[in-house]
Amino acid sequence: MRLRRKDVATTSQSEVADESTSAAAEPRARGPRSVEELDSVEGYVDFGALLIPASEFELRLNVDESTGRIMSLAWLQEDGGLEVSVFAAPRTSGAWDELRPELEADATQRGGTVETVEGPYGAEVLCALPVQLPDGTGALQRTRIFAFQGDRWLLRGALVGRPVDDPENAEQWYAVFDGVVVRRGGEARPVGEALDLQLPPQIQLTDPQGGHTHG
């Protein structure tokens, strides 16, 4: 699903970062944050479990057609983009280390290849999966998957297109990932369960048939 914003302030990511970290005693390492770390949610679009800084990037939803549930959010440009999804995680670290082998096995079973590479948040999974193009020819779709673990949550990102193999281009998408804020909630959840994403009131659907999925 494609989205368009209506009556949303266009606050830049740098402005949001300046406002939300002005009271910090020390510079914060890169990575997404929990909502409890913010002084204010002004300038963010509220998707329930995820708060997204207002941005001029085109934003789409990945929706499970059988349930109508929003599974992930994606920012897109002509030459690539970033998709994010968020899950419950344990208090102990290492959730991404446990999840990566499952992703790698799934890609291999689908006839793809996988490689472990290093990125800003640690180990990343570089996948190449066979796909069929609209003209019927085959191709390989390359995806770079990574994650950041916070306080009982895991935010997973997937780069597609140019940023997969262009580190300079990828940096703008890592910056988008850094700007995401997670609202975990205090309820008990099974590890690995997707946190609830909701359509905010200031967002309007413009192409309900234009579902878009990466990976």
Task: Evaluate whether residue 175 is within a structural domain.
Answer: yes
Task: Evaluate whether residue 116 is within a structural domain.
Answer: no
Q: Which residues 6+ apart lie within 8 Å of 144 measured at CB?
A: 117, 119, 124, 125, 126, 127, 158, 159, 160, 163, 164, 170
Task: Evaluate whether residue 112 is within a structural domain.
Answer: no
Task: Evaluate whether residue 185 is within a structural domain.
Answer: yes
- Tens digit of pLDDT for each residue in 116-170? 999 999 999 999 999 888 888 888 899 999 999 999 999 999 999 999 999 999 9
Largest Cα span, the chain: 57
| Contact by Cβ (8 Å): 37, 178 | no
pLDDT of residue 134: 86
pTM of the model: 0.80
pLDDT of residue 201: 75
State the residue range of the domain holding 183.
2-22+29-97+149-207
Task: Evaluate whether residue 44 is within a structural domain.
Answer: yes
At residue 119, the 3 state secondary structure works out as: strand
Number of separate domains in the chain = 1
Sites in the chain below the pLDDT cut of 70:
1-28, 202-215
What single DSSP character describes residue 26?
S
Task: Evaluate whether residue 54 is within a structural domain.
Answer: yes
Task: Evaluate whether residue 12 is within a structural domain.
Answer: yes
